[in-house]
């Protein structure tokens, strides 16, 4: 992690192992619920999660399993750029989220859900969850790694990088799904990425491990 | 919520009314901006709590999952609200004031109040449901106590 962080005086940004564990657990748990709401409404999103959702809808395989597999190639990039700790934490976070998104439906059934509300719930929950995961030195998927590389190298905010990848996925979704689904999905993705772009800034609190 | 169960009045309105006295503390100790932002946040929660059930319905909800889910979501939500110079009223105002002036963390203040409240609730409601609610409250306030610290990023 780069050392050029400007923070209020006396700010402690170093996280202990236990603090990272709780931060990652909460982030992953909240993201899992957000993705369950998203897939229940049949919406899509960007990033690896969006790719996994589309593959899951088309193939009938569970979202968790697809999400786990699609993420595998990206750990090499994460290891080269961010080191072992980041890669192990990201692997743990992705694995936990894959399992949780498949487990949550066992304890929570939704029988009525407006797609607009689903989009907003998804965007807000996953936005907050991903912030927690980023601030505790991990990522929830390949595009997040890619976005963090670009943010640290070129100073382009991670949120905007992810927005670019999302645009590609949504072009694909327009071909595959009804326009109303794509429209609501877009709302969710915009909320998610705005939350990250506005709140995860190098000159604010980003956390250190 | 306890008053809402006992009286049968809707949660949104009871929540709004119970908060009113705490605005005095907010106004005189935390300032006008904090108080106005808090009032807006409380009003929005009241409205949204009424709107949500019309757009979303659960057919089955495991109570343990419900407690943990509510705890995590509310814990994160409250940290966001605290960091942007507001609260959802009530004990949160007291907790934030104590954190900023006495050095006692808001999370622990709220947890103390909740434990007392749930002890009372256990006499009125099914103690098993109260126990589950306690799990949610512990989750909320642990998240706040661990993550909303005066020596970390608190926003201004």
**For A16, phi and psi rounded to 5 degrees?**
-80, 170
Sign of the four-CA dihedral A135, A138, A144, A146: positive
pLDDT for A155 equals: 84
Find chain A residues with C-beta within 8 A of B60's C-beta.
107-109
CB contact under 8 A, B73 and A26: no
CB contact under 8 A, A26 and B76: yes
Residue B108's pLDDT band, with cuts at 50, 70 and 90, is: confident
CB contact under 8 A, A117 and B72: no
Find chain A residues with C-beta within 8 A of B77's C-beta.
128
Chain A residues bordering chain B (beta-carbon distance below 8 Å): 7-8, 10-13, 19, 22-23, 26, 29-30, 33, 104, 106-114, 116-118, 121, 125, 128-129, 132, 204-205
pLDDT tens digits, B47-65: 898 888 889 999 888 988 9
- The vertex-B31 CA angle with B28 and B32, nearest 5°, equals 105
**Burial zone of B18 (CB within 10 Å; 0-12 exposed, 13-18 middle, 19+ buried):** middle
CB contact under 8 A, A128 and B60: no
CB contact under 8 A, A11 and B52: no
Q: Distance from B144 to chain A by nearest Cα, in Å?
A: 11
**Euclidean distance between CA atoms B59 and B129, whole angstroms:** 19
ipTM of this predicted structure: 0.78
**For A2, phi and psi rounded to 5 degrees?**
-65, 155
User: What is the rounded average pLDDT of the residues B26-40?
Assistant: 87
CB contact under 8 A, A11 and B152: yes
CB contact under 8 A, A11 and B149: no
User: Which residue of A112, A115, A184, A207 to mutate against B (max B Cβ within 10 Å)?
Assistant: A112
**Euclidean distance between CA atoms B124 and B122, whole angstroms:** 6
User: What is the rounded average pLDDT of the residues B115-142?
Assistant: 84
CB contact under 8 A, A26 and B72: yes
Find chain B residues with C-beta within 8 A of A106's C-beta.
62
pLDDT for A79 equals: 86
pLDDT (tens, 9 = 90+) of chain A, 209 residues, equals 444 444 444 455 677 778 888 888 999 999 999 999 999 999 998 888 999 999 999 999 999 999 999 999 888 888 887 788 888 888 999 999 999 999 999 999 998 899 999 999 999 999 999 888 888 887 787 787 777 778 878 888 877 887 788 888 999 999 999 999 999 999 998 899 889 888 876 666 656 55
User: Which residue of B76, B145, B155 to mutate against A (max A Cβ within 10 Å)?
Assistant: B76
CB contact under 8 A, B73 and A8: no
State the average pLDDT for chain B. Answer: 83
Stated pTM of the model: 0.82
pLDDT for A203 equals: 64
Find chain B residues with C-beta within 8 A of A116's C-beta.
55
pLDDT for A126 equals: 94
Of A110, A129, A205, nearest to B56 by CB-CB distance is A110
Find chain B residues with C-beta within 8 A of A23's C-beta.
147
Q: Which residue has the higher pLDDT, A32 or B142?
A: A32
């Amino acid at each position: 992690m780069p050392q050029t962080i400007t923070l209020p005086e006396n700010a402690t940004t170093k996280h202990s192992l236990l603090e990272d564990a709780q931060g990652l657990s909460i982030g992953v748990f909240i993201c899992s619920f957000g993705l369950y709401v998203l897939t229940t409404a049949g919406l899509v999103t960007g990033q690896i999660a969006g790719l996994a959702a589309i593959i899951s809808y088309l193939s009938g395989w569970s979202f968790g399993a697809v999400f786990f597999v699609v993420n595998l190639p990206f750990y090499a990039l994460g290891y080269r750029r961010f080191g072992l700790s980041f890669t192990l934490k990201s692997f743990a976070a992705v694995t936990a989220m894959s399992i949780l998104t498949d487990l949550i439906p066992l304890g929570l059934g939704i029988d009525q859900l407006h797609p607009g509300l689903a989009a907003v719930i998804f965007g807000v929950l996953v936005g907050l969850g991903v912030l927690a995961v980023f601030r505790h030195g991990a990522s929830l998927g390949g595009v997040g790694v890619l976005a963090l590389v670009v943010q640290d190298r070129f100073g382009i905010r991670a949120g905007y990088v992810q927005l670019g990848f999302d645009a590609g996925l949504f072009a694909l979704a327009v071909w595959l799904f009804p326009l109303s689904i794509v429209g609501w999905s877009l709302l969710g993705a915009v909320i998610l990425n705005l939350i990250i772009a506005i709140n995860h800034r190098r000159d604010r609190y980003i956390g250190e491990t | 919520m306890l008053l809402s169960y006992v009286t049968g009045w809707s949660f949104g309105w009871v929540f709004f009314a119970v908060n009113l006295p705490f605005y005095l503390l907010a106004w005189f100790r935390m300032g006008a901006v904090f108080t106005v932002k808090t009032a807006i946040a409380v009003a929005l929660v009241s409205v949204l709590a009424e709107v949500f059930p019309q757009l979303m319905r659960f057919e089955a909800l495991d109570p343990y999952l419900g407690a943990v889910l509510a705890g995590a979501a509310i814990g994160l939500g409250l940290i966001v609200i605290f960091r942007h110079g507001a609260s959802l009223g009530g004990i949160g105002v007291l907790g934030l004031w104590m954190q900023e002036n006495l050095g006692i963390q808001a999370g622990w203040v709220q947890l103390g109040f909740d434990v007392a409240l749930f002890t009372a609730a256990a006499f009125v409601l099914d103690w098993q449901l109260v126990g589950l609610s306690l799990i949610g409250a512990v989750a909320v306030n642990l998240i706040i106590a661990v993550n909303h610290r005066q020596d970390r990023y608190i926003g201004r």
